[in-house]
Structure 1
């Protein structure tokens, strides 16, 4: 099997800027091609982008007890399902005449360039010159060729979008499902009429997310970058794969926390889709920003989704190489991330009674020889899927001998340190994605402990996958001096403001773990 190379988009962009234009031009031609295909064509971007969420299909098209999309989040299939997804999109790109050798690049989110400048400009430039003609940049957005109608009972057309709707990113809003949403979105977006200025605001937000720091044991480190590195230290595939498994392990092993790949993945979705980082830089929060990347339902319709997830898959491959798992890994069948609830059906096309295993179909992705891909078909990207990755920012961690530097501190607690455990966050009462942020007061100074981004839906009651994991949790490393003084704060920022009321945020403070554990809803806190 011929093995293609997925390169960093920034490297391809740099080649273009030096006059070597073919690779980026071919990529643009391929994306332009799949976006222009008939929306009924299985290779069209409308079909492929819609697999993640809307337009809904199957029982979930009308029944709120089913999730009408195919995406896997919060389960052990998160890395492998998205791997098969990227592979299908890449094959569609290669089907466009003249683009047979095109490969899907990755946005290297941990690179120095991303941390300094934000998103590669190939993903944000308004226009691109192709074959001597100035065209709309195929990578910056997607206009729906047909309308999407939300027929789910109880949704009140929440996810409906008209033909011609164009996906948006921070600081804009894309909620247009109801007359009230349309009015609010029009008023909000009118405040941001300058496209170039909006890109600057977006990139500023990305840089803030990537460079915001936490201090642990005297070490100052970028939090999102450190999460990506820390997840590479997860001891097995199950714990590496998803936040449900991560949360259950950390709840049972507070002195030996792990970090899953899905955790920093969520952060980048919210960074692009519409959450600013609290208290970072001189940028003011922008209430009302609801970009498509920030919600499961619409994320796959923004082309940047696939460049983001290509980096997630690159990180997955680095983890496999580091742990000698390039040809095999297993799923722990006893882990809560490996099951659906008996009364909570899985995503479209799934079996509500079957456990999640390496042979669970990764619907709807079909192999050339027939049958649906399973995780066992997506282990070795080189021999099974025909691609590998070019140089990236995490390459130095691909071997077990490599030490994840300061980021390892996120998963290594000293004897005198504790963990702040936040639990019981009921997703069914929160519309859309949200952000859990923890602080501690140490010697009169308010210190950031960390953030946990939760990628969610506007109508969780209609998502079988979400219903299975309705309660969200987060764990934050608590330095010894903070644990001793016991003054901690947690805020949960939602699309509608701070959870629990109050002028700006809900804060719960206390010293004794017992007192914290008894805190009433909407969430509990405990120092462990």
Structure 2
């Protein structure tokens, strides 16, 4: 397939710019397509409810009621993370193109490391309240989704935090979307009452995203980057697909190589954006007041796929995956280290429906529930079907950020070259409700500096997944290579774990609510 016949996924910023310059059709067609899939009946295989629900709730397949399986079909913490989500985007894009008059629509990406995003946050097309389409002002189809069917949290029967009624509308930071129990609903109503100004909420959301994307600290009068944009850049340097693809494999790789700069997997900055949009303040931010009690849908694995911004975020994640493939020479094949952490169906989460527990994962593993027809027969999609997006899937990406070598060099601000790294191990996620943050701080010269944060996208109730109970440990690595060696000699370090229930543990208090030790801190 030639470049001329490839459909091009452009950034949402490109569509915005064309719209404001008078070429309104591309953005209008995108809005029309999204409006169309959201209006389809919930049992229609092309409906947004059906497709969005594959990621977590409503737990289709065996996953909704079997504790041996992860709650949704999505793969996290294993080598199928990039390819499963790549195929997920393809199926959503096919549905968008199936809306009458929208046959040429492609799914745009939110270029999260562009100058516009770093300075302003989320593009306005994803947040503006209303949009004019065909001479009529309509609710912007990209800013939220109103459930056309209820979903039930089958995992936590005693407190179904992520049950959502028909008519529920997804929310983002600074709002809360917990409505599953009387207690949750009362707390959410009280919280959201303080945030009734939609435009002001968008400002707060963008301020939080900018902090996540753009943070730096000053050490020895020099800037040191700790931001998510730098993590995206760093993941392009991962040496092989196994460690690039997921957190579990990267944790093993980094643990085996003390004294070297930790590898950053693609999944790590991906998690950070989920939590930035979904409701976690950036640790160490000082220019605005943190908002506790924000529980947006993007911040939890259970409901993230039902917020439209999920697909614009993941389209960018897939674009970075393709950039890594081109940079490292893996456009036509991917290599998996056999038997490595992150290559088993119980690593990081639990087996997904259609995949046997404790089975090895590879390029031929099914990417359930996605199917394709081959020679008149339907079969499971696998990673082998989607390695080369141009040759196999018929699309490519427009040129965005992270492609210019000079730009990549500018994005990483270095103050020196230390040789140490903070290694946080033994983080027990069993008592932690939902997603959480692991933040590291260095006390240097009497000042407390934020070294970095590992965002962990998780489900609300890990105890409902039997396999998760045998894979409870989360590890975090924080490179100190940007800090001058001389300053690290007298430094002391702290770790803070923050979840939906506030600070769960710190260096001074390393046990959680159950009394169990939550982590171990080591500098090496």
- What is the CA deviation profile of residues 315-352 of structure 1, one whole-angstrom value per residue up to 9, with x for unaligned ones? 00000000111111111112100013499850112122
Once the two structures are TM-superposed, the CA of residue 216 in structure 1 deviates from its matched residue by: 7.7
The reply to whether residue 283 of structure 1 matches residue 271 of structure 2 is no
Aligned equivalents of 1:342, 1:282: Cα separation in 2? 38
Aligned equivalents of 2:217, 2:275: Cα separation in 1? 19
The answer (yes or no) to whether the contact 1:342–1:352 under 8 Å persists in 2 is no
Which residue is equivalent to 1:242? 246
- What is the CA deviation profile of residues 17-38 of structure 1, one whole-angstrom value per residue up to 9, with x for unaligned ones? 1110000000000000000011
Aligned equivalents of 2:217, 2:347: Cα separation in 1? 40
Aligned with 1:253 (options 257, 262, 265): 257
Which residue is equivalent to 2:465? 463
* Partner SS, residue 228 of structure 2: helix
Pair 1:380–1:95, CA change in 2 (3 A): same
Which residue is equivalent to 1:229? 233
The answer (yes or no) to whether the contact 1:158–1:177 under 8 Å persists in 2 is yes
Which residue is equivalent to 2:369? 364
Aligned equivalents of 1:161, 1:126: Cα separation in 2? 22
Aligned with 1:439 (options 430, 438, 441): 441
Aligned equivalents of 2:119, 2:272: Cα separation in 1? 17
Which residue is equivalent to 1:23? 26
Which residue is equivalent to 2:268? 263
Once the two structures are TM-superposed, the CA of residue 223 in structure 1 deviates from its matched residue by: 1.6
- What is the CA deviation profile of residues 259-286 of structure 1, one whole-angstrom value per residue up to 9, with x for unaligned ones? 1011111110010000111232421111
Aligned equivalents of 1:36, 1:219: Cα separation in 2? 49
* Partner SS, residue 365 of structure 1: strand
Pair 1:12–1:452, CA change in 2 (3 A): same
* Partner SS, residue 71 of structure 1: coil
Deviation larger for 440-449 or 96-105: 440-449
**How do 1:331-410 and structure 2 match up within 5 A?**
331-341=336-346, 346-369=351-374, 370-397=378-405, 404-405=408-409
Pair 1:83–1:161, CA change in 2 (3 A): same
The answer (yes or no) to whether the contact 2:57–2:302 under 8 Å persists in 1 is yes
The reply to whether residue 304 of structure 1 matches residue 309 of structure 2 is yes
Aligned equivalents of 2:161, 2:188: Cα separation in 1? 13
Aligned equivalents of 1:330, 1:318: Cα separation in 2? 16
Pair 1:162–1:190, CA change in 2 (3 A): same
- What is the CA deviation profile of residues 94-149 of structure 1, one whole-angstrom value per residue up to 9, with x for unaligned ones? 00000001000000000010011110000001101111011110000000001112
Once the two structures are TM-superposed, the CA of residue 521 in structure 1 deviates from its matched residue by: 1.5
Aligned equivalents of 2:50, 2:288: Cα separation in 1? 37
* Partner SS, residue 438 of structure 1: strand
Once the two structures are TM-superposed, the CA of residue 222 in structure 1 deviates from its matched residue by: 5.4
Pair 1:4–1:216, CA change in 2 (3 A): farther
The answer (yes or no) to whether the contact 1:167–1:302 under 8 Å persists in 2 is yes
Aligned equivalents of 1:356, 1:167: Cα separation in 2? 33
Aligned with 1:448 (options 447, 450, 458): 450
* Partner SS, residue 499 of structure 1: strand
Aligned equivalents of 1:441, 1:51: Cα separation in 2? 44
Once the two structures are TM-superposed, the CA of residue 468 in structure 1 deviates from its matched residue by: 5.5
* Partner SS, residue 182 of structure 1: helix
Aligned equivalents of 2:409, 2:454: Cα separation in 1? 21
Which residue is equivalent to 2:522? 526
Deviation larger for 217-226 or 375-384: 217-226
Aligned equivalents of 1:35, 1:221: Cα separation in 2? 40
Q: CA RMSD in A?
A: 2.3
Once the two structures are TM-superposed, the CA of residue 441 in structure 1 deviates from its matched residue by: 1.2
- What is the CA deviation profile of residues 201-258 of structure 1, one whole-angstrom value per residue up to 9, with x for unaligned ones? 1011111111111468945335211100000000000010011111111111122321
Pair 1:212–1:472, CA change in 2 (3 A): same
Once the two structures are TM-superposed, the CA of residue 59 in structure 1 deviates from its matched residue by: 2.8
Once the two structures are TM-superposed, the CA of residue 406 in structure 1 deviates from its matched residue by: 6.0
The answer (yes or no) to whether the contact 1:442–1:481 under 8 Å persists in 2 is no
Once the two structures are TM-superposed, the CA of residue 66 in structure 1 deviates from its matched residue by: 2.2
Once the two structures are TM-superposed, the CA of residue 152 in structure 1 deviates from its matched residue by: 3.1
Aligned equivalents of 1:404, 1:373: Cα separation in 2? 34
Pair 1:22–1:468, CA change in 2 (3 A): farther
The answer (yes or no) to whether the contact 2:69–2:357 under 8 Å persists in 1 is no
Pair 1:233–1:179, CA change in 2 (3 A): same
Identify unmatched segments of 5+ residues in structure 2. none
**How do 1:156-171 and structure 2 match up within 5 A?**
156-171=159-174
Once the two structures are TM-superposed, the CA of residue 64 in structure 1 deviates from its matched residue by: 3.0
Deviation larger for 473-482 or 462-471: 462-471
Deviation larger for 337-346 or 34-43: 337-346
TM-score (norm 2): 0.92
Pair 1:190–1:23, CA change in 2 (3 A): same
Which residue is equivalent to 1:515? none
Aligned equivalents of 2:123, 2:54: Cα separation in 1? 25
The answer (yes or no) to whether the contact 2:348–2:471 under 8 Å persists in 1 is no
Once the two structures are TM-superposed, the CA of residue 463 in structure 1 deviates from its matched residue by: 3.4
The answer (yes or no) to whether the contact 2:37–2:47 under 8 Å persists in 1 is yes
The answer (yes or no) to whether the contact 1:155–1:459 under 8 Å persists in 2 is no
Deviation larger for 240-249 or 220-229: 220-229
* Partner SS, residue 102 of structure 2: coil
Once the two structures are TM-superposed, the CA of residue 154 in structure 1 deviates from its matched residue by: 4.3
